[in-house]
Amino acid sequence: MSHTFRTHVIPLVKRAVRETDRVYSVLSEDRGKLELFATGSRKILSKLAGDMEHTGVLDVFVVRGRSFDRLAGAAPLETFGAVRDSYERQYAVLSMTSFLDRAVRPGERDGALFRLLQEYLAAVADASAQALADGRLVLAMQWKVFARLGFRPDLERCVRCRVSVPGAQAAFTIRHGGVVCVDCKIRGVALDATPLTADARTVLGLLLDAPLADAHRLFLGPSLRVATHALTSAWSLTHLELPAVTA
C-alpha cells in the first residue's frame, strides 16, 4: 500500500494542536472526511497555512501515518473570491462547513456530498444579499445534506401505512420521518404529527430537489419562513442530534 496519496478536498474546520501545529478536517472527493495533521502550520510564515485558508477546492498531498495522516502540501484548484470579500458569505460558508464537520463521519466516501458542497460554495458566491439574509440558500443546503446522510423525509406516502397522502390532508411527523395520512393521525400512531400546509410541503420538496443555484427563486413569506426554519431545526436535532445552521 502506498505511503502517500493526493486528493481534492474542501476544508471544513481547523483545530490548534500544541503551539505550532494544526489538524485540518477536510471533505475529500474520493475518501470521505479526513483529519490531516499539519506540522508548523500555526507559524506566521507557514506557506501551508496560507494555502489551507482558501475557500474552495484544494489539491493536497498526504503522507500516511500510523496514528494520523500528515498534510505535506496543498494548492488551490478552485477559489471563490466573492466569499472572502463578504462577511455574510463567509458566515454562510463557515457555519455550513462546521455543521458538516460534526455531521459527517470520517472515512465515509460520498463523492456526491463533496460535489454538493462545491455547488454550495459557488451558489453562496453568486447569491444576492436577500437570499443570504433570509436563509433560503442555507435551508436548501441543509435539507440536501439531510437527504445525503440518509434522513430524507417522505413527502408522498404515509410513513406508517404507505398510502399516498393528498396535499390537502397532510400532517407531518418529525419522529417518524415524513407525512402521515388522516387515518393514521386519527388512530394516534404518530402522536407528534402536526398539520403541514400545501405551501410548506411544496417548499420542502423544492429545498430537497431543486438545484442550489435556484434557491433564490423561492418565495418564503414571513410565516412560512419561520415555520420552515423551525421544522429544519427540529429535524436536525431529532435525526442528527445537532443544531441546525441559522442564517
Once rounded to an integer, what is the mean pLDDT over residues 44-59?
76
Q: Let me know if residue 157 belongs to a domain.
A: yes
Confidence of residue 46 (pLDDT cuts 50, 70, 90): low
Q: What is the pLDDT of residues 217-233, one digit of tens each?
A: 788 888 999 999 999 99
Q: Report yes or no on 1 lying in a domain.
A: no
- pLDDT classification of 2: cutoffs 50, 70, 90: low
Helix/strand/coil for 233: helix
Letter for the amino acid at 114? F
Within a domain: 188: yes
Residue 158 lies in a domain: yes
Domain assignment of residue 156, yes or no:
yes
Judge whether 131 and 221 are in contact, CB under 8 Å: no
Is 164 within a domain? yes
Range of the domain at 143: 127-247
Total domains present in the chain: 1
Q: What is the pLDDT of residues 89-116, one digit of tens each?
A: 999 999 999 999 999 999 889 999 999 9
Cell of 145: 445534506
d(CA 72, CA 58): 13
CA distance 21 to 15: 9
Instruction: Specify if 110 maps to a domain.
Output: no
Highest mean pLDDT among 79-88, 106-115, 232-241: 232-241
235 assigned to some structural domain = yes
pTM here is 0.91
